[in-house]
Amino acid sequence: MQITVSAPGKIHLLGEHAVVYGYPSLLSTIDKRLEVILTLLDKSNDTKEKIQIQTPEGTGLIYKSLEIFQKAARLSQLPPLHIKVESDIPVGSGLGSSAALSVALMGALFKGIKNLWNPVKINELAYEVEKLQHGNPSGGDNTVVTFGGLVWFRRETEFLKSIWNLPSASYHLPSLILIDSGRPKETTGEMVSYVNRLYTQKKTFYENIFKDQERETRNLLSALKKGDRENVKRAFYRGEKNLEKMGVVGKKAQSLIRSIEKLGGFAKISGAGGITEGSGMILCYLSNFEKIEEIAKKFGCNIHKVNLGVEGVRIENGE
Ligand code: PMV
């Protein structure tokens, strides 16, 4: 018995970091996906390895997901399994590859072992995996990856999240270029702890930035609804400035972003950011694509074109 479940990557349009402190964030899925191909092996399978894993990345997150699934499904032990992961989502660059993996795997385990398909449950358990992986995540990544499209997300309390799954067809979502400013040296968990240390020292300063970021996130949503390109640009511009004030954007990313702005475009980091080396993917829009290519080349960075608002976790096929 074999089942394939896929989940998309995601970007933070705006509100990252502030979302950890209970402010809203706006996230969107992107048209890059990860697939989990789960095979239930014959029970008489007498190989020593009852859980076989084939993945381009580490297995830590997979074992954490299995443990959480086993507990939630109240299974004394898991059946023999083969898990294969294939992905076109770049890892460790703020595109939600870990959320896509835990969501797709949770979906495949529920469907394959319990014959259940419940995105709310998938999301809830993927959040538990994200917590083991990242420490204090908001839950935004796993939510948008599960439900797809455009998501307005706010963590009200640890056990209550406001989730608005917005129909992407009712918004003017631009195609964006992602410029890879390099894999951050710091993990998402480390960046979240770093901001938390600074927040504890300068609470009023950070609260003011977060409040302003909420205003810009609301402005961005309204501008996307109306298709008001000037205000989309303004919200991204101010949002990026706030992220720089928070201290999460490295020097290389900042000068790359300034180059795009000088030509009349907008650009911002997306996700946790990074300081010492790269800052992950930079979202960028400039009508002149050749110019973006030129700038990216000058900074030695790769680019990806992405469409927003695609479908969330889904079953690709299964017996
Ligand atoms: O870099 P990513 O994709 O893991 O996004 C992190 C976003 C933060 O707001 C910094 C943390 C969170 O859990 O929301």
Please state, in angstroms and rounded to a whole number, the distance separating the CA atoms of residues 314 and 18: 30
CATH assignment at residue 215: 3.30.70.890
Same domain, 38 and 104: yes
**Ligand 1 centroid vs 94 CA: distance in angstroms?**
7
Which residue's alpha carbon is at the smallest distance from atom 13 of ligand 1?
Answer: 137
Same domain, 141 and 8: yes
Strands 51-54 and 266-269: unpaired
269 CB less than 6 Å from ligand 1?
A: no
Strands 25-40 and 2-14: antiparallel
CATH assignment at residue 43: 3.30.230.10
Same domain, 159 and 196: no
Same domain, 217 and 297: yes
Same domain, 133 and 8: yes
> What six digits make up the tokens of 272?
């946790």
Nearest 10 degrees: Cα torsion 302, 58, 28, 163: -160
Give the relative orientation of helices 60-72 and 119-134 as an angle to the nearest 10 degrees.
130
130 CB less than 6 Å from ligand 1?
A: no
Decide if 30 contacts 95 (C-beta within 8 A). yes
Please state, in angstroms and rounded to a whole number, the distance separating the CA atoms of residues 279 and 273: 4
> What six digits make up the tokens of 225?
């609804």
107 CB less than 6 Å from ligand 1?
A: no
Q: Give the chain's domain count.
A: 2
Same domain, 62 and 100: yes
**Ligand 1 centroid vs 110 CA: distance in angstroms?**
26
Same domain, 285 and 158: no
| Residue (of 245, 293, 288, 289) closest to 269 by Cα position | 245
Same domain, 29 and 161: yes
**Ligand 1 centroid vs 31 CA: distance in angstroms?**
19
Other CB atoms within 10 Å distance of the CB of residue 262: 9
- From 145, 154, 192, the mutation candidate for ligand 1 (largest count of ligand atoms within 8 A of CB) is 192
> For residue 185, what are the domain limits?
176-306
> What six digits make up the tokens of 256?
């790359």
Please state, in angstroms and rounded to a whole number, the distance separating the CA atoms of residues 279 and 246: 13
H or E element at residue 6: strand 2-14
Same domain, 24 and 157: yes
pLDDT tens digit at each of 319 positions of the chain = 899 999 999 999 999 999 999 999 999 999 999 999 999 998 776 666 789 999 998 899 999 999 999 999 999 999 999 999 999 998 877 899 999 999 999 999 999 999 999 999 999 999 999 999 877 788 999 999 999 999 999 999 888 999 999 999 999 998 899 999 999 999 988 999 999 999 999 999 999 999 999 999 999 999 999 999 999 999 999 999 999 999 999 999 999 999 999 988 999 999 999 999 999 999 998 888 889 999 999 999 999 999 999 999 999 986 5
